[in-house]
Amino acid sequence: MSPLQKAAWFNLIVLGGTTVLYLAAVPLLAWTFDKPWSTVAVPATGVFGLCGLWGLDSLFFRPRRDGLPITDERDQAIQLRAWGAAMGTFWVLFVLAGVGSWAVMRYALHMQQVTVPVELFPGIVLAAMIVIFPVQSVVILHVYRTGETR
Amino acid sequence: MTSRDSSQLTNRIRRLRFDHGEMTQEELAKRAGVTRQTIHALESGKYAPSLPLALRIARVFNTTVENVFQLNGCDQGDAGGSDNGEP
């Protein structure tokens, strides 16, 4: 298994574990503070800070003792393809969310002016990470599995 | 390289390895500066190498790139397509 595959699996495991923690945190916080689930759902997203563990995937790219390269041009091609797919996916979702929310508010709810909380902006960054890293990981694993990298 | 181009690319790496003292994929990878998985992907026809890698592999076998890689379905003079700069 190449370091890229190991890193991809690691990223998916971190996201999976964090999602499970989030799903457990919502009812736990609701029960602890006696609040409705909808109220604690947003603060509970703090557990996604554990996704910072993704930074540890660089440990898979330590130099080999036998002198062989850790990654080569094929790995870089796979990574580039995965990055393109991940960015493309995020871009589509970003445009749909941006234009879609505007269309709903403007034409369905007839809202001319609305305000958004400033927390929306770091939320976009978090959403980008939560979309880009897993999609990139899935594409990496898919391409290595099928083997078609030409 | 597009997939249409690379689908016609074949190679004799496996044959050349055995002709050169049954060289292992690991040894060829080390000498060409890539991972063993890439050599395996090349031999399986699942990866089309860059020109520098093709040259390095040919150099390992002390031969020409054309002797290692072949572009099937194209005449040698037609391999460059219509972008060969000729009128």
B22-72 pLDDT, tens per residue?
A: 899 999 999 999 988 899 999 988 889 999 999 999 999 999 999 999 987
More confident position, A67 or A110: A110
Contact flag A74-B41 (C-beta cutoff 8 Å): yes
CB distance A141 to A8 below 8 Å: yes
pLDDT of residue B85: 39
- The answer to whether B25 faces chain A, any CB pair under 8 Å, is no
Is the CB of A68 less than 8 angstroms away from the CB of B30?
yes
Q: Which member of B34, B44, B50 has the closest CB to residue A147?
A: B44
Q: Using one digit for the tens of pLDDT, what is the confidence trace for A33-43?
A: 888 888 888 88
Out of A2, A149, A150, the one facing B35 most closely (by C-beta) is A2
d(CA A94, CA A89): 8
Would the CB atoms of B47 and A67 count as touching at under 8 Å? Answer: no
Q: Report residue B83's pLDDT band, with 50, 70 and 90 as the boundaries.
A: very low
pLDDT for position B74: 60
* Euclidean distance between CA atoms B80 and B87, whole angstroms: 13
Q: Are A51 and A14 in contact (CB under 8 A)?
A: yes
- ipTM at complex level: 0.72
Show the tokens assigned to A43: 């603060």
Residue with tokens 């094929």: A74
Instruction: Quote the CA–CA distance of A28 and A90 in Å, as a whole number.
Output: 31
